[in-house]
Structure formats: C-alpha cells, structure tokens
Amino acid sequence: MSTIDIQVTVEAGDWPAEEALYETATRVLGAANAYLSTELHQPFPAMSPELSLLFTNDAAMRTINAEWRDKDKPTNVLSFPAFPLVPGGMPGPMLGDIVLASETIANEAKDLQRSSGDHLAHLLVHGYLHLFGYDHIEVEDAEIMEHHEIRILATLGISDPYEGQSLLDTTKRQ
C-alpha cells in the first residue's frame, strides 16, 4: 500500500492548527488508501504521490468556485486532479489539490447533526475519490462513489453520511 505525501495549508477560516489537520488528513486518507489498495486494487506509483490540502474560508472558496466552475457561491469541497484519471488508473507523482471551506463545512455539520470532525473526514474522502476519477454527476456513478465513501468511513468508525438522504439530493448538491 502506498503512502501519500500530504501538504497542508491553512489559508483562512476557523480551522484547527495545521498539525492537527495534518494528523486528521493522514489518518483519514490513510484509511482511504488502504481501502483503495485492498478492496479496489488501485495501483499507486512507487514513490509516494503528493497531495495538497488547502483549508480556507467561504469567501475564498466562492472565488475559486466561480473561477473554475462558473458557480458564484461557496461549496464545501473542491478537488483538482493533477492529471485526468479514471477509477483504477495509475496516478502520477502528483495527485492534485483538495480545497475545503470552513463556514460551509461547519454549517453543514450542524444541519446534518454530525460532528465537524466526522463531516470533515467525509469531505476529505469525497475529495480524495474525485482525484482518482470517481464522480457523482450520473446516478450510477454517484451510487458507486457513495458506496466507497461509506465503506471507507466505516473503517474509521464513522456512520453513513448519506443515511436518510435520497441519491437525487446528493447528486444535485455539487
């Protein structure tokens, strides 16, 4: 199983210290890597691929979302793969970037009655799967992606984040 070289940057927002975020990311994405390797036989490069995590606020996320997706609003997480990848394909030395927005994540966690830590873990896994080519635009793809998210989170003792939601709701969110 491959490890990941994770770079953490806190740009803005109400986040824990970078060291705590790094520990969370290492634990959560380590579980995702283990699942991808053992359950999906995902290949990894010989050297640990790099991943950049940017923790920011809603204002910055709104700007990024408008620039890259033509959506003038903040969102919880955005993923930017370094190279296009289909599920099961070999990633390059740089996986890409994941950007997370503090206010949106905190508000969603409250609305969903989940701990902020569990919600952050879910969004890290969600963003990470995007870097490996998983998506949720089509219902069939969303079912696959959500199945993997649920199973990865279960290895961390985190309950199903989609429980009580319809698949149509989850595909419309992004």
Domains delineated in the chain? 5-173 (3.40.390.30)
The pLDDT-based confidence of 3 (bands split at 50, 70, 90) is: confident
pTM reported for the whole predicted model = 0.94
Edge-first strand order for the sheet with 50-56 is 5-10, 50-56, 94-101, 77-81
Q: What is the pLDDT of residues 89-132, one digit of tens each?
A: 999 999 999 999 999 999 999 999 999 999 999 999 999 999 99
Closest Cα to residue 74, out of 88, 60, 87? 60
Query: Residue 1: its pLDDT value, please?
Result: 56
Query: Residue 169: its pLDDT value, please?
Result: 54
pLDDT for 12 beyond 70: yes
Q: What is the pLDDT of residues 44-85, one digit of tens each?
A: 999 999 999 999 999 999 999 999 999 999 999 999 999 999
Q: 49 near 93, Cβ under 8 Å? A: yes
Please indicate if the annotation marks 126 as binding a ligand: yes
Please indicate if the annotation marks 136 as binding a ligand: yes
Please indicate if the annotation marks 122 as binding a ligand: no
Strands (E), the chain: 5-10, 50-56, 77-81, 94-101
Q: 161 near 153, Cβ under 8 Å? A: yes
Average pLDDT, the chain: 94
Closest Cα to residue 130, out of 149, 158, 117, 103? 149
Q: What is the pLDDT of residues 125-172, one digit of tens each?
A: 999 999 999 999 999 999 999 999 999 999 999 999 998 775 555 544
Query: Residue 171: its pLDDT value, please?
Result: 45
